[in-house]
């Protein structure tokens, strides 16, 4: 049940190593910077990857929670600020499929997030240890539309199931959450 954040950007870095098209490289570089800033809980780094030319509008398909579909830079910043404050930044999207063109990047794979027990209790989950982390997991596809400057307009996410189902039985042990490798 390990979470290895380095898998989140592994395929993006591999593709960057061979990609020659400047617009595709730019889009991959933006997504890579976004992924690494998210993993570090770097709010300013995340916002540096978000469009200023258009109105960003995220869509979390498969949920009715309006907090997961922010519209506008201020709402997107609040979304990320809440995400960072939640402590749920220890995650891995083990990207299995990566598609890139001049206007979009698509990533798809198994999403794993270490949710703090205290947060899960606040959300109504009966976990036995508020100090532990628990494994959220689901398949996820993220469509990243890009503006003309190669900044993220949205993260349109599609999930393949309820990652919280059975989460109380997936307590993570010490060492299950790997560190980000130095560049």
Do β-strands 91-100 and 59-61 pair in parallel, antiparallel, or remain unpaired?
unpaired
Read off the pLDDT of residues 133-159 as tens digits, 9 standing for 90 and up: 999 999 999 999 999 999 999 999 999
Which residues touch 16 (CB under 8 Å, ≥6 apart)? 25, 28, 29, 32
For residues 133 and 116, is the Cβ–Cβ distance under 8 A?
yes
pLDDT over 70 (residue 79): yes
Instruction: CATH number for 6-169: choose from 3.30.1360.120, 3.10.450.50, 1.10.10.10, 3.40.1350.10.
Output: 3.10.450.50
Give, to the nearest 10 degrees, the angle between helix 6-18 and helix 22-40. 160
pTM of the prediction?
A: 0.95
DSSP track, 38-57? HHHT-HHHHHTTB-SSS--B
Which residues touch 103 (CB under 8 Å, ≥6 apart)? 145, 146
Euclidean distance between CA atoms 179 and 9, whole angstroms = 14
Q: End-to-end distance of the chain based on CA atoms, in angstroms?
A: 24
């Amino acid at each position: 049940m390990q979470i290895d954040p380095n898998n989140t950007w592994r395929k993006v870095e591999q593709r960057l190593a061979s990609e020659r098209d400047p617009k595709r490289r730019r889009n991959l570089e933006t997504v890579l910077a976004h992924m690494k800033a998210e993993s570090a809980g770097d709010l300013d780094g995340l916002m540096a990857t978000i469009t200023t030319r258009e109105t960003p509008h995220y869509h979390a398909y498969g949920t009715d929670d309006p907090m997961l579909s922010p519209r506008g830079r201020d709402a997107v910043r609040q979304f990320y600020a809440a995400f960072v404050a939640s402590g749920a930044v220890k995650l891995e999207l083990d990207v299995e499929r990566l598609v890139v063109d001049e206007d979009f990047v698509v990533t798809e794979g198994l999403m794993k997030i270490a949710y703090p027990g205290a947060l899960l209790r606040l959300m109504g989950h009966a976990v036995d240890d508020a100090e532990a982390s628990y494994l959220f997991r689901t398949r996820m596809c993220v469509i990243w539309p890009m503006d003309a400057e190669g900044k993220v307009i949205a993260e349109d996410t599609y999930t393949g199931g309820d990652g919280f189902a059975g989460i109380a039985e997936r307590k993570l042990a010490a060492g299950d959450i790997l560190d980000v490798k130095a560049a």
